[in-house]
Structure 1
Amino acid sequence: MMRGYFGVGAERISKARNLGSILRTANGFGASFVFTVQMHHALRDINSADTSKGAQHLPFYPWPSLEEMRLPVRCTLVGVELTEEAIPLPSFRHPLQAAYLFGPEKGSLSDEATALCDHVVKIPTRFCVNVAVATAVILYDRMISMGSFENRPVMTGGPPPVARWKKRAVSGP
């Protein structure tokens, strides 16, 4: 079981399917709430991608502006953006109480949103990935780093994967 709580949000999101995917992912990883800032479409448009009905199971806050955004007391705002200054995700310690803010498709977090963030992290990829994919990567990393999981085994038995591959290559399919 994961400790703490977290929320997931997107600034100026313009594609209903991406918001639906974010809601589904947030619901699947156990988010406490979902939010948007300056959303560009109606909430009813997300149903085709939100097959888990996350909007019915999670509190959803569609804030019209950053000035109107309200997070819980002691909640740390973490921006997710691919910039030189951002902390690489593998080096980041997730706050116990956090809200993760993602930028829009074909864009970046606004300067105003970045200024509000306590931390800005980046997924160390060669280029930006889809906002829904980025959400899944961040939440998976949070779950792995903050959950109560046993250490991965070094090897589960049998020959190492390379030995299996070489055997198949020699003997055929």
Structure 2
Amino acid sequence: MKVDNLEQGFFGIGIQNGKTPENLGVLWRTAQNLGASFIYTIGNRYSKQASDTHKAVGAMPYFHYDTFDDFYKHLPKGALLIGVELTDEAEALEKFDHPRRGVYLLGAEDHGLSKQAIEKSHKLVKFSSALSLNVSVAGSIVMYDRNTKGTVIY
């Protein structure tokens, strides 16, 4: 296996107050397939996912935070928090330049991101969709977009 310690950048993805364990498991599986460096949850916590058939939890670091404040104070140095939310202020994903060090946060399908998470996000992104999507599908689209575009340095 070739290891390039000079390669810069990483990304993690997580859900705030996830509604179902199935959504979390699907997101984890996709995160592992699309190169996430870590996965995390804020609020609700599930220990085992039937839909995580690739056992992503054993393949990459998984973090759980009881509150948004606890999560926020542990953001990696230099990382930007990217909230994924259907708001007027959010930038279209189609035009979004992904940061080299990004931490993506999705909200539960029924409530979205908390007001605090929206306010503390460094950037907000959304994509063209008439209505909200399943959270694991939305996260998968964001990670796929990141992989196909690459990242920018900032």
- TM-score, scaled relative to structure 2: 0.89
Shift of 1:3: 5.9
Aligned equivalents of 1:60, 1:143: Cα separation in 2: 21
Letter in 2 for 1:94: H
Equivalent residue, structure 1, for 2:86: 82
Counterpart in the other structure of 2:4: none
Q: Percent identity?
A: 34
Over aligned residues, Cα RMSD in angstroms?
1.3
State the structure with more CA Rg.
1
Residue among 92, 100, 105 paired with 1:101: 105
Provide the aligned length of Structure 1 versus Structure 2.
Answer: 143
Tell whether the 8 Å contact from 1:3 to 1:146 is kept in structure 2 after alignment: no
**Residues 109, 132 of structure 2: 8 Å contact kept:** no
Which residue of 2 is the match for residue 112 of structure 1?
A: 116
Which residue number in structure 2 is paired with residue 134 of structure 1? Answer: 138
Distance in 2, Cα, partners of 1:102 & 1:126: 18
2:22 partner SS: helix
**Structure 2 residue 24 is the aligned partner of structure 1 residue 19:** yes
- The letter of the residue matching 1:16 is P
1:30 aligns with 2:35: yes
**Residue 56 of structure 2 aligns with which residue?**
54
Structure 1's unaligned 5+ residue stretches are 148-173
TM superposition shift of 1:123 = 1.4
What are structure 2's unaligned runs of at least 5 residues?
Answer: 1-6
Q: Could you state the TM-score of these two structures normalised by the residue count of structure 1?
A: 0.79
Which position in structure 1 is the counterpart of 2:15? 10
After TM superposition, the runs of 4+ consecutive aligned structure 1 residues lying more than 6 A away are none
Q: Partners of 2:149 and 2:69 in 1: how far apart?
A: 32
